[in-house]
Amino acid sequence: MSATPTIRSSQPFPVARDLAALHEAVERLFEAADAASVMEICELMLGNFGIQGRLRWRRGDESPGHLTGQMELAVDPQGPRTLVLDWADLPLPEPIRDRLDWMGRLVGARLRQLAETSRLYEAISRLAQAERLQRALYAIAEQAGAEHDMPEMTRSLHAIVSSLMYAENFYIVLYDAATDTVRFPYYVDIKDTDPPPPDQSLPLHDMLHSLTWNLLQEGRPLMGSLDELRQQFSNPLVPLGPSCEQWLGVPLLRSGRVVGGIVMQSYRDDTHYSQHDLELLNYVAQHVQTALERREAHLELGRRVTDRTAALREANRVLRQQVLQRQRGERLQAALFRIAELASAPESLDTFYAAVHQVISGLLYSRNFYIALIDEESGHLTFPYSVDDVDSVRLPRAHGRGASEYVLRHAKPLLATPAELARLVALGEIAHIGAPSVCWLGVPLIWGGKAMGVLALQSYSPEHTYNERDQELLTFVSYHIANALQRKQAAASLKHAYAGLERRVTERTRALALANRDLREQIAERERIERRLKYETLHDSLTGLPNRTLLLQRLEQAMQRHHANPDEQFAVLFIDLDRFKVINDSVGHLIGDDLLFQVGGRIRACLKTRDVVARLGGDEFAVLLEGIVDTHKARLIAERIISELHTPFRLGTKEIFTSASIGIALASPHYRQPEELLRDADAAMYHAKDGGRHRAAMFDDRLRREALSLLDMESDLRHALSRNEFEPFYQPIVELADGRVVGYEALLRWHHPERGLLPPNDFLLIAEECGCAEAIDWQIFEQVCTQAVRLIGTEGFISINVSGRHFRSADLDQRLLALFDQYAVPTHCIRIEVTEHALLENPTQVKQMLQNLRSHGVGISLDDFGTGYSSLSYLHQYPFESLKIDRSFITELPPDDAETQGLALVRAIQVLADSLRMKVIAEGIEEESQRRALLRVGCRYGQGFLFAEPQPASTWLGAGRPLLTG
């Protein structure tokens, strides 16, 4: 085979020397088992052909030669490779080439047959292996649902894996990442004599850098000998347990995380694991992991079912107890209702006692029952009712040492068995106990704070005994029986009292006849007093002048005369002393009263006899001038009064100066009530005070129009409330640094049907005078609550202004919290703004309400800081979250970087707020220079026309952007 073939040219190519040998070689060729056998048979056939040459296999990546002494006989499909014949460079005769071609075709056919047979064997092997794998996976899946315990399941899994590959030494490790521990639920090793306990968790750190540690840490399959594995790890390998020849481990994964591993190892030199074994085990491991998870889930479900069953059993037991308790409660309630009915029923006491016995029989065993009461007159113990199988009659007796007396003496229940009664007898508490009973239960009947009787039950049979629960029940019922018994006895006492009352009425009638005579004399005296009271009713007690009532009567008479005869003119002067409160507070009320007395006398001296001067109250006087022909005369009289009152008053050692303002109203046909004249004169007087005091003013058409306008405004305000014409407008509160909106202030606006949109300055003062202001505020509060969540969600806040009037209501804080809860508005989204003036009235109550609101999360802000008293005590007494600097300070800020007094004040307020951890909000920012100045002093928040004007909620919601910007 290795010699170079040679062919002599001087001799012709031989033919087949032996056809029989050639035929045998062909048969052996088609029986050849592999390519090497085919090559050997080809060499025999070449010898038979008489050809000397060398056969060899040429690889597929080897390029063919270009020599003439080379011939390709056949291709091996399993190679891929080609069978090549090499000989000398002499050309072959055609017959020999034909024979070689024939031989090459036979060889190619056999090589293809062998390749096809090999592929069939491989396919059959793969199919068998797939069937084994499928059966193994089915078996793993069955184990997940089988009713086995965990050890039996892991043994079955070991057997399944052993059916696929060599797994004599096999273990499963589970890893808990939360505790960084491992557990070996199954461990089989022929050489390891100290396997880990299956139920014990071991710290993973104890097996640092071991093969198991590397498998769990790297989370990938590992295979090889110890030397091969050392080359795969960056850290030095620390073997644990016996040294193995081959080691194969695959991780168990759950959602990409390592939760354990399956490991097999071989101690045999002839048994190694292949890549195929690694891939197969890695594939099977995931199904094993699924089976383990299903098994653990099944076990966990079983534990939960067991726990739930126990919980349901306990709940059922509690429910049965509750049903029994409810049934007892219903019986007890029915008994109490029956006792209450008996207390009001007109039946006798004997019937009442029998009915009480029947009621108790429905609750407890009461075949032997008696009621013992103390006779308050004799002090004896009586038995008004007794039913007993042994003692049929119980006679009254003096206080002794019986069981009933023991209960009365200690005023507490007694539950006694014969042993307990014997113990009490031994202690000397009880001297005689009557007929012996198996169980005796007695409770006191208490009313008026004293034990007045005993309710007793006893049993002569062991079948019926009493316990502490029966004692508690009878004690509870005894309270109601005692109450009913007391009412019954009170009714009997009342009946006796009625008889005594009738007797006393007769005696009283005789006494009244004598008193009637004295009464007539008293009536005569009373008439004299009434005349005096009538005078005092119509006159002022201080000055002796007519009062408002008498003045109105005289005015009504004058109006009737004027309506009958328009020429009967008259005028009303309304006089108010200027600065009288100052005088009263400075020199005292006694001198003030003396001054009023002298003022009344001077006014009276300026009038005619028919004119009336009256004191209306305080420092107000009114004058009825009759016979007035024109306004000039009325004004002259008013000027005369003013001049007279301007003269100093000598009061004791003091000389007092005062002046007066006078309003004049003339009679007119449009007046229907005297109060209308007095009202217009009062309005003219206030007009005089507005004009500088110490003067008189006439009520004219202009004042009438103003009064009518005021009246119309009041009417419009009340209609506006019913028509919901008030609406909150929201002005943004922003961060001065970047203009980000952090909240809004709700401002009041009125959509007047004729005058358009009105700010609060145009109507709020009138609303306060007519009492509508609080209703308007609550209407605004409710609208803010309905719009708050849509406007700001839960991030920002809305400020609402709460005036001092609201704090007069003691439940203001509760009403606000109820309103926020009604509309599901988070309390931290609402900020209440109060002024310093609101803190002056009842500060204790205001402080409590603000603290309650703050404790519920509502923000509190001090509005217009710096315009009122600005007392620093407010800042630490009240739970303020922020201060709002009034716009009057903002307008004084410099237009440039200069330092001014206004800027210094704002800086001082900011420093004060920072030290108290309060936020500062500047109001009325209209210029960019003001914003920069505020930023220089550290103010973070502000509002004003520079950022946005107040707008309704619909405008902000329809702006196409979120209300709060970040």
Domains, the chain, with CATH or none: 19-120 (no CATH), 146-304 (3.30.450.40), 345-498 (3.30.450.40), 539-699 (3.30.70.270), 714-957 (3.20.20.450)
What's phi and psi for 206, nearest 5 deg?
A: -70, -20
| 445 half-sphere exposure, CB direction, 13 A CA radius | 18
For residues 231 and 229, give the distance between their C-alpha atoms in angstroms, rounded to a whole number.
Answer: 5
For residues 560 and 237, give the distance between their C-alpha atoms in angstroms, rounded to a whole number.
Answer: 126
Cβ atoms 456, 404 nearer than 8 A: yes
* Structure tokens belonging to residue 802: 């709460």
Among 244, 128, 228, residue whose Cα is nearest residue 192: 244
DSSP 433: -
For residues 487 and 507, give the distance between their C-alpha atoms in angstroms, rounded to a whole number.
Answer: 30
β-pairing verdict for 726-735 and 951-952:
antiparallel
The C-alpha angle 586, 588, 591, rounded to 5 degrees, equals 115
For residues 949 and 480, give the distance between their C-alpha atoms in angstroms, rounded to a whole number.
Answer: 71
DSSP 546: B
For residues 919 and 143, give the distance between their C-alpha atoms in angstroms, rounded to a whole number.
Answer: 68
Strand intervals (E) in 753-874: 756-758, 797-801, 830-834, 859-865
Question: Starting at the edge strand that comes first in sequence, how are the strands of the sheet with 54-59 ordered?
Answer: 54-59, 81-86, 70-76
* Structure tokens belonging to residue 134: 């499928």
Amino acid at 299: L
User: pLDDT below 70 — which residues of the chain?
Assistant: 1-18, 64-68, 88-90, 133, 136-137, 139-141, 143-149, 343, 432-433, 704-709, 868-871, 873, 959-966
Other Cβ atoms less than 10 A from the Cβ of 814: the count is 13
Tell me how long the chain is: 966
Q: For residue 35, what pLDDT is reported? A: 82
Q: For residue 90, what pLDDT is reported? A: 64
Among 147, 193, 142, 140, residue whose Cα is nearest residue 163: 140
Cβ atoms 726, 750 nearer than 8 A: yes
For residues 271 and 871, give the distance between their C-alpha atoms in angstroms, rounded to a whole number.
Answer: 96
Cβ atoms 709, 701 nearer than 8 A: no
Among 242, 245, 243, residue whose Cα is nearest residue 225: 245
The H or E element spanning position 458 is strand 450-459
For residues 618 and 543, give the distance between their C-alpha atoms in angstroms, rounded to a whole number.
Answer: 11
Distance of CA 649 to the CA centre of its chain: 71
The predicted-structure confidence for 548-573, as pLDDT tens digits, reads as follows: 999 999 999 999 999 999 888 999 99
Cβ atoms 798, 829 nearer than 8 A: yes
Among 867, 483, 876, 930, residue whose Cα is nearest residue 736: 930
For residues 464 and 874, give the distance between their C-alpha atoms in angstroms, rounded to a whole number.
Answer: 74
What's phi and psi for 659, nearest 5 deg?
A: -145, 175
The C-alpha angle 701, 706, 707, rounded to 5 degrees, equals 95
Secondary structure string (H, E, C) spanning 297-328: HHHHHHHHHHHHHHHHHHHHHHHHHHHHHHHH
For residues 45 and 106, give the distance between their C-alpha atoms in angstroms, rounded to a whole number.
Answer: 11
The per-residue b/e assignment along 935-951, b for 16 or more CB within 10 angstroms, e otherwise, is eebebbbbbbebbbebb
Other Cβ atoms less than 10 A from the Cβ of 385: the count is 18
What's phi and psi for 729, nearest 5 deg?
A: -105, 140
Dihedral sign from CA coordinates of 153, 156, 160, 162: positive
> Please, what is the end-to-end C-alpha distance for the chain in angstroms?
92
- Environment class of 795 (CB within 10 Å of its CB; exposed 0-12, middle 13-18, buried 19+): middle
Distance of CA 946 to the CA centre of its chain: 39
* Structure tokens belonging to residue 46: 């070449």
* Structure tokens belonging to residue 394: 């119980």
Q: For residue 6, what pLDDT is reported? A: 36
CA distances from 473 to 328, 468, 863 (A): 10, 9, 63
Cβ atoms 572, 664 nearer than 8 A: yes
The H or E element spanning position 447 is strand 439-447
Cβ atoms 335, 362 nearer than 8 A: yes
Q: For residue 499, what pLDDT is reported? A: 82
For residues 45 and 53, give the distance between their C-alpha atoms in angstroms, rounded to a whole number.
Answer: 12
**Residue written as token pair 């062998």:** 114
* Structure tokens belonging to residue 233: 């790890």
| 555 half-sphere exposure, CB direction, 13 A CA radius | 29
The H or E element spanning position 215 is helix 211-218
- Environment class of 187 (CB within 10 Å of its CB; exposed 0-12, middle 13-18, buried 19+): middle
pTM (whole model) above 0.75: no
Q: Who's near 793: CB < 8 A, 6+ residues apart?
A: 963, 964
**Partners of 883 in the beta sheet?**
862, 920
For residues 92 and 95, give the distance between their C-alpha atoms in angstroms, rounded to a whole number.
Answer: 8
The predicted-structure confidence for 583-624, as pLDDT tens digits, reads as follows: 888 888 888 888 899 999 999 999 988 899 999 888 899 999
Helices vs strands, H then E, count in the chain: 26, 31
